[in-house]
């Protein structure tokens, strides 16, 4: 993308870091409340499970994409492309998670000894890493177009998302196990809020480091 598309003169790494972490934390809390609400309805048999899965994936992509776009739009024009990229990335990631979860469940059925706490957490984190890499790849395409980044920088963005979402999905998995109930109460609200804030903050902190690194390189290239 041409230099005039950038508004990076206002770039300040600390401000960007704070905005990005906050945006991801709020998005994560919103997504977990959405999942909890729809899961309650699915338990009651009101919604088809496949429809719920696709709807949740789409909403998660919209929520995260919109929240992150609110931050990115201050630094680059045409950042609106970030939203459809995030939606598509979330949908593809959800399909990947669903497929790998099916394989995991099948493997556990054949070999029950796999179901140890450590192994289960490792598998969940691995699934999260793969899903994060898929999301990072699709978002990386937009990063390359908007910031004229190199393949190497896109690679760092993919790695950052893989690591961030491996931890994020693992924490969400543990949080979901803590409030495995069919009805809302104050305890579920508190756990969902704290889990969502933790997941979003971790994802935001890790990906913010990669984003700041990429933008600093862009700013340096622009000024030289």
Quick one: pLDDT band at residue 150, thresholds 50, 70, 90?
confident
Band (pLDDT 50/70/90 cuts) for residue 123 is: confident
Span 15-71, pLDDT tens digits: 889 999 999 999 999 988 887 777 665 555 555 566 777 888 899 999 999 999 999
Residues 118-142 have a mean pLDDT of 91
pLDDT in tens, 81-116: 999 999 999 999 888 888 887 887 777 777 776 667
How confident is the model at residue 2, as a pLDDT? 44
Convert the pLDDT of each residue in 186-206 to its tens digit.
666 777 788 889 999 999 999
Q: What is the domain count for the chain?
A: 1
Q: Considering only residues 12 and 128, tell me which one the structure prediction assigns the higher pLDDT.
A: 128
pTM: 0.83
How many Å separate Cα 19 from the centre of its chain? Answer: 16
Residue 80 is part of which domain span?
3-223
User: What does the pLDDT read at residue 121?
Assistant: 87
What is the reported pLDDT for 3?
44
């Amino acid at each position: 993308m041409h230099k005039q598309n950038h508004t990076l003169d206002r770039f300040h790494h600390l401000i960007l870091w704070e905005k990005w972490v906050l945006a991801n934390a709020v998005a994560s809390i919103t997504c977990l409340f959405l999942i909890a609400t729809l899961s309650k309805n699915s338990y009651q048999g009101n919604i088809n499970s496949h429809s719920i899965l696709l709807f949740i994936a789409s909403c998660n992509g919209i929520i995260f994409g919109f929240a992150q776009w609110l931050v990115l739009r201050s630094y680059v024009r045409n950042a609106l492309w970030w939203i459809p990229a995030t939606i598509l990335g979330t949908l593809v990631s959800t399909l990947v998670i669903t497929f790998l979860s099916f394989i995991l469940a099948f493997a556990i059925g054949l070999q029950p000894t796999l179901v140890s706490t450590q192994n289960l957490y490792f598998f969940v984190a691995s699934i999260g890493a793969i899903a994060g890499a898929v999301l990072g790849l699709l978002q990386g395409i937009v990063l390359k177009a908007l910031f004229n980044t190199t393949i190497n920088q896109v690679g760092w963005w993919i790695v950052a998302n893989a690591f961030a979402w491996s931890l994020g999905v693992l924490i969400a998995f543990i949080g979901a196990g803590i409030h495995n109930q069919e009805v809302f109460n104050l305890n579920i609200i508190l756990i969902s809020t704290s889990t969502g804030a933790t997941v979003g903050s971790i994802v935001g902190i890790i990906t913010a480091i990669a984003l700041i690194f990429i933008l600093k390189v862009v700013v340096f290239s622009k000024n030289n």
